[in-house]
Every structure is written in C-alpha cells, then in structure tokens.
Structure 1
Amino acid sequence: MLGESESPLSDGYDLAMFDLDGVVYVGGTAIDGVPERVDRLVAAGVHVAFVTNNASRTAAEVAENLLKLGVHASAEDVVTSAQAAARVLHDRFGTGASILLLGGAGLVGALGDLGLVPVTDLETPDVAAIVSGFGPEVRWKDVMRAAVLIRDGLPWVASNADMTFPTAYGLAPGHGVLVKTLADFSGVQPVVAGKPARPLLDETIRRVGGERPLMVGDRLDTDIEGARNAGVDSLLVMTGVTGLLELLAATPELRPTYISPTTEGLFEPHPAPRMDAGAASLNGWTASVVDGRLTVVGGGSPADWWRVVAVAAWQHLDTTGSPADTSGLSTPGA
C-alpha cells in the first residue's frame, strides 16, 4: 500500500513540489534542515517549486518571504492558486477577457500576467466570468452582488476552498467559508483551482518543468489527495498538521506514496513493509492489529516505524471499515 524506491527519491524524480506551511516553515520559522535540503535538490539537478493555495499574495511576495527564512527561491519557483485560477480562465475565455474580481492582489497580478483584464466594479457589464480568492479587504456588499451574479449564470472560478487560514493569532476562516456561502446561496459549485483539485499541480508542472514530479506535503486532504487527482506521486512529511490518528484513518484517496518524518526522506531510499499473516514488517519493526488495537514491536528507524504502522492500520481499515485503536501507542521521539 506504500510505494517503494530502492534509490533516494532525489534520484528518481526531477521536480519536487513543496507545500509551504508545515513543510517548509511553521509559524513564520523555517523548519530545521529545509533550506539546506532545497539547495541540495537544486545542486542535484532537481527542479524545485513552492506550491500554495493562498491566492492573496503574488508569487514574488511569497518568494521574498522564503528568502527571509533562508530558503533560496525566486518568483519563478512559486506557483499559487491564483495563477492556476487565471490559467483555467484563460484556457476557457482567452486573452483579453474581462474577469470580475472578488479577492486580493495575488489574483490581480495572476490575471494580468496571462492577458486577462481584472475588473473590480461588480456592476460592469459584459464580463466573461467571476473569480474569487482570499482577500481580507473584500466587502460584504460585493459578496452579495457576486452571489446574485453567480446565481444568475455567470461562470465562477474559485482559487481554493480551504476552510481555514493560518494567521499570527491562530487558524481563522479561510476562503472556503466564502465559497460555501456563495455556493449555498446560488446553488452553483465553482471550478476550483487549488489543491486538492488538479489545476494547481498541472500549472506547477507547466511553469517549472519536470517529467517525473513529486508532491511533498503535510496535509492529506489537500497535498496528498491533490497529488492523486493530478496523477503524481507524493511524499508525506510528519512536520505539519497530519498526526498518527489522521494518517491511520486515511482512506485510499488520501494515502501518500511515501512517508518520512522530515524532508530528509527526499534523499533516502523508501523500502515498503511486507505483510505476513496480517502483520507489517520492515527492518526490525513489526506492526499488527489484534482485536482492533494496533501494536508495534521491535526497533529501527523512525521512518520505518511510520511505514509499518500505516500499512498495518490501513489493511485493518480496509478490511473492517474501522480505524485501529492506538491507545497507549507513542510515536518515535515522543
């Protein structure tokens, strides 16, 4: 149920697409080792991209922030959901199309870069579509007008549908809350550009290049599911929001190709556990579910621990429909 690579992933993939929060940084601080690993990938000839569902900032602004954190990045290395949304609109309506804007500066720049005309006056006639994205300055009267236009048939593209947005004061309502409000009122679901929908990763590959892409993420329902929807492999790192319970309860569409405690896993082989009589074994670790409870015995590397518990728990979930009981089980290093 996990992929296997006898050689380091950096040898087998030529594009590493990094999610940001939880993979590159947490709380405004770069995660230990990530800046150096990005440099190692580039030195090895691997294309590197930084992929974000945040449509409020331009690619240049995201790159500037990464540089402040010690991560070498340029605007050309960053791909946002605003850029993916602009591509969806350009492919459908062509250069020069006027697009109503319900969002921030990131969308304005992305639309202009592809020759689309952003329109902020929602009373403007003869527009081709409306695009929405995270924008703290969006006014309620504009939301109301947009809802009516969408209900009355104006095509709608949303940059993303994330229900939460990280801030300095904790998780706050994200653009997905607005998307749900508009959809509930209008009865219309938008075309979504950001993860887990496919356009963002397709746009990343188109812009940055690479024939063998790998998504590197920390979140199952955006990064990993998005990779599956785009038909690319994924590496889940345990430095962000996904913990033991979330991983072991993952249904097939949310399961990564590879697992590693950190992004150091990009430079390591990835052996896959072997199943025997319901037990998953790998390099000294054995995990099994007995009477619904997950147990692990043996010893070895933390990476292999995560691999055996995932495979054993997923087999139990697929067989019984119930997640394994993990009470009393401690993760490596806990």
Structure 2
Amino acid sequence: MSSAPLPPGLLGSASPLASAYDGALLDLDGVCFAGEARVPHAADSVNAARAVGMRLSFVTNNASRAPRTVVDKLRANGIQAEPGEVFSAAMDAAVMLTEHLAPGSLCLVVGGDGVRQALLDEGFTLTDTAADRPAAVVQGWDPAVDWAMLSEGLYAITAGALHVATNLDATLPTERGFALGNGSLVAAIAHASGKEPLAGGKPFPGIYERALARSGATSPIAVGDRLNTDHVGARTAGIPGLHVLTGVSTARDVILADPAERPAFLHTDLRGLIEAHPEPMSDGAWWSVGRERARVSGGRLELAGAGPLERPATVTLDAYRALAAAAWAGADATGGSRAGAQVLGLPEITVAP
C-alpha cells in the first residue's frame, strides 16, 4: 500500500488488474452477490483472478455473518474462498475495541453471530442484558435485530457503556432493492441516547489496512459498488479502487463524484479485474478513452457524435470512462470542487454491459 496520495483522475492499465496488482480487497453485497441473487460475471472473474495468483480478501461492512458463513455464501454463488480470506466490519470493530477496553471485558451485542464470533475471537465476554452492566454495546446489522434488542442496547449506553458500531451504512442492497442498513439502526440508538458511537468498517481506512495486513498483499486494489464507503475508504488508505455498477452507486453518481469518492478504474462488473483498462488521454479540450471522446462545454457533458447529454442515454464502457474523465477534469480545473457543480442537468446514464 502506498502512502502517497492517489492521482485524482482515472488510471490506465495495459495488463489486467489481476496481473498489475497482487491483491484485491473485495466488497461482498452488491459486488460478489446481491442478497440472494447472483451478480453476473462475478464468479468467473474472481476465480480467474485467483488463478493468476492474485491474493483475495473479502472485506465487508455486513457484520451479520461469521467467516465460515460468508465462505458458504460465496461458494453458493460459485466463488472460491476460505475463512481466513474474510474480514468483516464486525471483526474490524472487535479489533478496534481492544484499543479501548481491558482484555475480557463484558460486551452486549446488538447484532448476530458475526458480531458475537468476532468479539469472542478477540477475547471479550458477552451478555444479552444491560442488567449485567456491560462495558460496551457493539452493534452490527442482522435480520434478528428488533425493538427489544435495540432498547437493551440503549439501556446499557444510558448507564455508561461505550457504543460501538461495526459500520454506518444507511442501506443494504438486496434482490428486492435497498433495505435498512446498520447505520439506520445505529442512528435510532444514537438519537435516543444523545451519544455518537465509535464506528468501524468503511469508509474508515482502518478496515482496509487491517484486512491487507492479514492478506499479505503489498500492491492491492479495492473493489466496491459504493462511492461513499468503499471508495472513500480506499482512497483515504491510498489504495486504488475499481468501481462496479452492480450495487448502489450509479454511473451518474460516479461521473458527478466528489474527489474524495473517485475510483481509479471503472467497469460494469467484476470483469474489470481480468481486463486491461485503457488510459484516458486529453488533447486539452476532449478526453479520449479508446475510440470514445467526451468534454464539458457550456456546463454540459458532451459525447462526440452524440452531442450534449440532456436525456437518459445508454453508452459504451469506454464512453462512460471518457465522460467521467472529462467531468472530473472540469471540476479539478475550478479548484477541485464536486463535478456535479460543474455539470448541469446530467441525465441517468446506462452503461452497456
């Protein structure tokens, strides 16, 4: 991992990313699978990256599953994995908690098996009741979390327990759309207690740094679907990111992204791991990727041959990359402000797979 700041724009790679980088820090929900649904090309791409020697680490903000359960789900989706390759936000929070509590301290879990196992692995003891006066309440998403469990956590926090959130994701992608994520449930307790929690997971860089230390990779890439978690965390940690369009953030979101959220590479899905990425080039007016060219003119994004984008459009992958490169460069030229402030009326963009 490099300590030097990443370049603000898209990068190119003449060889597939699985060869150019020795490790991948892969998000799960919205990248490797989507709830109970398979993500097209995920299994073939991840397995192919492994076959050429890339070290894989599955880094997830979903704290509900223990590593063995994650592996079982990945394998059910055709993706090879081992428990030692999984690093969850629950594990991140448990490691972080060792810096705040004495060994063996009592913790109340607002969550499921993933949080419980992570805390036990770090030597903490567990309780389900605030009456035991736990030192900390550790909260992670699980479908079993209900009013009674949330209220038990609130009782403990009000009595002085430290509130620790595995992550602050507001939503969770499923096959039906976006469901409530851990951050939304954490906000309920924080609102009632009046106390802000100590938070782990993405977008904080620590989860990437701890996962990377376990994987042994020295030149990694982070893969994710959420700009404000996966890619903010990766950029803060100095790790190039590959964004895929199989989860939360859309192509329009990427094109209008804040500098802190920008990925280094773009693709529709995990085939981006096993393909080369053409380098964006500029002649001072137009940005070119492959045969596609784009620019910002008069506050509008324009694609060569199509004119300004003023209504929903379907574009090629290279056109998408060129549009992002042009929008980001236009924002940077005005002092690094958000691209959305420089591009007016951008419609929804669909990228042809």
Same-fold status (TM-score > 0.5) = yes
Contact 1:23 1:240 in 2 (8 A): yes
Pairing 1:7-18 to 2, within 5 Å after superposition? 7-18=15-26
Name which of 125, 128, 141 aligns with 1:134: 141
Letter in 1 for 2:184: V
Partner of 1:118: 126
Q: Which segment is superposed worse, 108-117 or 272-281?
A: 272-281
Name which of 48, 61, 73 aligns with 1:53: 61
Partner of 2:189: 182
Could you say if the C-alpha distance between residues 79 and 329 of structure 1 is closer, same or farther in structure 2, counting changes exceeding 3 Å? closer
Distance in 2 separating the partners of 1:282 and 1:54: 35
Structure 2, unpaired ranges of 5+ = 1-8, 307-314
Q: In the alignment, does 2:289 pair up with 1:282?
A: yes
Letter in 2 for 1:217: G
Q: In the alignment, does 2:347 pair up with 1:333?
A: no
* Deviation (angstroms), 1:247: 1.1
Partner of 1:220: 227
Q: In the alignment, does 2:240 pair up with 1:233?
A: yes
Q: Which segment is superposed worse, 270-279 or 222-231?
A: 270-279
* Deviation (angstroms), 1:145: 4.3
Could you say if the C-alpha distance between residues 104 and 10 of structure 1 is closer, same or farther in structure 2, counting changes exceeding 3 Å? same
Q: In the alignment, does 2:87 pair up with 1:74?
A: no
Post-superposition Cα deviations, 1:81-114, rounded to whole Å, max 9, x if no partner, equal 1111111112332532221212111111111112
Could you say if the C-alpha distance between residues 11 and 333 of structure 1 is closer, same or farther in structure 2, counting changes exceeding 3 Å? closer
* Deviation (angstroms), 1:332: 4.4
Contact 2:140 2:165 in 1 (8 A): yes
Distance in 2 separating the partners of 1:99 and 1:183: 17
Task: Give the TM-score taking structure 1 as reference length.
Answer: 0.90
Contact 2:109 2:137 in 1 (8 A): yes
Could you say if the C-alpha distance between residues 124 and 330 of structure 1 is closer, same or farther in structure 2, counting changes exceeding 3 Å? closer
Cα RMSD (Å) of the superposition? 2.5
2:304 partner SS: strand
1:91 partner SS: coil
Partner of 1:305: 319
Structure 1, unpaired ranges of 5+ = none
Letter in 1 for 2:167: N
Could you say if the C-alpha distance between residues 173 and 257 of structure 1 is closer, same or farther in structure 2, counting changes exceeding 3 Å? same
Letter in 2 for 1:240: G
Contact 2:154 2:192 in 1 (8 A): yes
Name which of 4, 28, 44 aligns with 2:36: 28
Distance in 1 separating the partners of 2:36 and 2:348: 31
Distance in 2 separating the partners of 1:227 and 1:327: 26
Letter in 1 for 2:255: L
Letter in 2 for 1:61: T
Pairing 1:241-280 to 2, within 5 Å after superposition? 241-280=248-287
Distance in 1 separating the partners of 2:43 and 2:58: 12
Post-superposition Cα deviations, 1:238-265, rounded to whole Å, max 9, x if no partner, equal 2333222211211001100111223222
Contact 2:317 2:352 in 1 (8 A): no
Contact 1:2 1:272 in 2 (8 A): yes
* Deviation (angstroms), 1:305: 1.7
Distance in 1 separating the partners of 2:201 and 2:142: 15
Distance in 2 separating the partners of 1:309 and 1:285: 9
Number of residue pairs the alignment of both structures matches: 332
Letter in 1 for 2:52: A
Contact 1:227 1:233 in 2 (8 A): yes
Name which of 343, 347, 350 aligns with 1:324: 343
Post-superposition Cα deviations, 1:203-245, rounded to whole Å, max 9, x if no partner, equal 3213322111211111111111121232211111223332222
Distance in 2 separating the partners of 1:143 and 1:235: 35
Name which of 190, 208, 224 aligns with 1:201: 208
Letter in 1 for 2:216: G
Contact 1:293 1:324 in 2 (8 A): yes
Distance in 2 separating the partners of 1:331 and 1:101: 41
Distance in 2 separating the partners of 1:279 and 1:34: 33
Task: Give the TM-score taking structure 2 as reference length.
Answer: 0.85
Could you say if the C-alpha distance between residues 295 and 75 of structure 1 is closer, same or farther in structure 2, counting changes exceeding 3 Å? same
